[in-house]
Amino acid sequence: MLSSDNSNQERQSLHGNWSSRLAFIMAVTGSAVGLGNIWKFPYMAGQNGGGAFVLVYLLFVFLIGMPVMMSEILIGRRGRRNPVATMALLGEEEGGSKHWKWLGALGVITAMLILSYYSVIAGWTLTYIPKAISGQFTGADATLIADLFDDFVSNPAAVISAHTFFMFLNFFVISRGVKGLEVAVKFLMPALLFLLFVLLYYSLTSGSFSEGVSFMFTPNFAALSWDGVLTAMGLACFTLSIGMGAIMAYGAYLPQETSITNAAVSVVVADTGIAVLSGLVIFPLVFANGLNPGEGPDLVFKTLPLVFGQMQAGVFLATIFFVLLAFAALTSALGLMEPAVAWMVESTNYNRKKSSAIIASLIWFFGLGTALSDNLLSEFKFFQGTIYENVDFITSNIMLPMSAVFITIFAAWVMSKNSSSEELDGHGVVYKIWQLLARYFAPIAILVIFLQAIGWI
C-alpha cells in the first residue's frame, strides 16, 4: 500500500529501491552520460562557434542544471511514484492543486519524443559496430569515411532496422525492472571513461591539440547568437537528463538516507567532465584532418572512425568504443522510457512487460520521422528544418526549459520549506544556495533566454 500521509518516511515505491547510494549515482550518471555528451555536445559546440558556447553551456550546467536536478530528485523522492502521480500527490499536499500533474505529464511526453530520435542515433552507433569489426575504417581517408556514413543514412531500410533493434533492446531491459539497470551501468561507465582517455592520448599526440583547445575554450561572443544561447541551455538540460521526469522517476527509488546534494554534485561533475573530454578528443582531430567543426549531427561519425582507422589496434578499439557508446545510449534511453512505463504500470492494470511493449512501440513509431529525415523525407522541411531538427528543437529548446522552470517553481516556491529542507538535509549554506538559485536565478534566467531567443524581448 502506498502511504499518503504528509511525511514521506514510510512512503515506498512500487518498483523497489536502488541498493545503495552508489547504485543511484551510477544509474543517474548512466542516464546523464550518453549521446548528449559524446555526439550532441561536440556537434552543437562546433555549429555554434566553439568557446563562447562552451562557456555558456558550463555556466548553465552549474547555475541552472544543478538546482533543477536537486529539485527534481527531491520531488521524486518525496512522492515516490511516477512523475505524473508524484506531481498530483505533492501538488495536492503542498500547494492545494492536483493540476501539477500536468507538469509530470509534460515530462513524460517530452521524454518519449526525445527517445524517438535518440533511438535512431543509437541505431547509427549500433550499425558502426559491425563496420568497426570488419575493419572498414582501416586506412580510410576523410572522404571515404564520410561516404561510408552518407551511404548508410541515405538507406531508409538500414536506418529503420537499426532503430528497431535498439528499441527492442530497450524494451528487453526495461521490462525487467530497476535491478536490470544497475548491473549494466556499474561496468559500462568506467569502461567508457577509460576508452575516452585512450582516445584523448591519441588526439593529444596526433591531433592539432592546441587548435582544438583554443576552439573550445577561447570565447568569441560574436559567434554566439541568442539562438545559440538557447541551444546551450537546452543542451545543458538534455545532457543532465533534467526537465523530463527521468530524474524524478529515478529519485523515487532513492533510499531516504542518501544526500541529494552529494548525489547531484557527483552526477553533474561526471556528466560535464565526459562532455568536455569528448570535445577534447574530437576537435583536435577535426582540425588535424581539415574537417569542418560545424558539420552537424554527422560530426562524431565522420571524425572518430578516421582516427580509429589510423591507430594501431584500431579495429579492436573502434569496436569497443562503439559497443560502449551504444551501451551509454542504452542506459540513457532506459531513463527516457522509465517515466512512461512507470506511469502506465501504476495507472492501468497492465503489467510491466505489457506496458513496456506498448510504450516502446509508440516511441518506435514516432522515431520513423527522424529515421527518414536523412533519406526519403530529407526534402520535407518546415519551421526549423527536417523532422529530426524540429523534434529536437521543440523538445530540447522549448519543452525542457519550460518544465525546468516549473519544476524549480514547484520545489522552491510551492513546496513548504519544511518539506524541501527535510529532503535536502537541513538549513545550511548549501540549502540557502539551492533556494536562491531555484527560486530566483534559474527560472528568471531560463525565461529571459527563452524570450530573447524567440524575439519577444
Binding site for ligand PHE (CB under 6 A): 31-32, 34-37, 111, 114, 238-239, 241, 244, 246, 332, 335-336
321 closest CA partner among 298, 335, 297, 303:
303
Q: Cα 20 vs. chain centroid, distance in angstroms? A: 23
Which is nearer to ligand PHE, 261 or 396 (by Cβ)?
A: 396
Least distance in angstroms from the C-beta of 290 to ligand PHE = 29
DSSP 279-339: HHHHHHHHHHTT--TT--TTHHHHHHHHHHHHSTTHHHHHHHHHHHHHHHHHHHHHHHHHH
Q: Provide the 8-state DSSP code for 253.
A: T
Which is nearer to ligand PHE, 108 or 244 (by Cβ)?
A: 244
Least distance in angstroms from the C-beta of 333 to ligand PHE = 7
Contact 392, 52 (CB under 8 A): no
Residue 264 to residues 214, 242, 413: CA-CA distances in angstroms? 30, 11, 20
CA–CA dist 13, 80 (Å, integer): 5
Which is nearer to ligand PHE, 40 or 302 (by Cβ)?
A: 40
Which is nearer to ligand PHE, 315 or 405 (by Cβ)?
A: 405
Least distance in angstroms from the C-beta of 87 to ligand PHE = 17
CA–CA dist 152, 22 (Å, integer): 39
CA–CA dist 427, 433 (Å, integer): 10
Phi, psi (degrees; rounded to nearest 5) at 245: 80, -10
DSSP E strands, 6-116: none
Least distance in angstroms from the C-beta of 34 to ligand PHE = 3
Which is nearer to ligand PHE, 231 or 332 (by Cβ)?
A: 332
Residue listed under C-alpha cell 527518414? 372
Least distance in angstroms from the C-beta of 332 to ligand PHE = 4
Least distance in angstroms from the C-beta of 4 to ligand PHE = 28
Which is nearer to ligand PHE, 166 or 209 (by Cβ)?
A: 166
CA–CA dist 371, 387 (Å, integer): 9
Which is nearer to ligand PHE, 90 or 242 (by Cβ)?
A: 242
Q: Which residues of 70-88 are buried (b: 16+ CB within 10 A; e: fewer)?
A: bbbbbbbbbbbbbbbbbbb
Least distance in angstroms from the C-beta of 446 to ligand PHE = 17
CA–CA dist 33, 271 (Å, integer): 6
Phi, psi (degrees; rounded to nearest 5) at 65: -60, -45
Handedness of CA 122, 401, 446, 92 (dihedral sign): negative
Which is nearer to ligand PHE, 74 or 274 (by Cβ)?
A: 274
Which is nearer to ligand PHE, 171 or 238 (by Cβ)?
A: 238
Residue 291 to residues 177, 299, 305: CA-CA distances in angstroms? 43, 9, 13
CA–CA dist 189, 302 (Å, integer): 24
Phi, psi (degrees; rounded to nearest 5) at 292: -100, 120
Least distance in angstroms from the C-beta of 328 to ligand PHE = 7
Q: Provide the 8-state DSSP code for 223.
A: G
Least distance in angstroms from the C-beta of 429 to ligand PHE = 29
Which is nearer to ligand PHE, 297 or 335 (by Cβ)?
A: 335
Least distance in angstroms from the C-beta of 293 to ligand PHE = 20
Least distance in angstroms from the C-beta of 27 to ligand PHE = 11
Give the nearest residue (CB) to ligand PHE: 36
Which is nearer to ligand PHE, 56 or 333 (by Cβ)?
A: 333
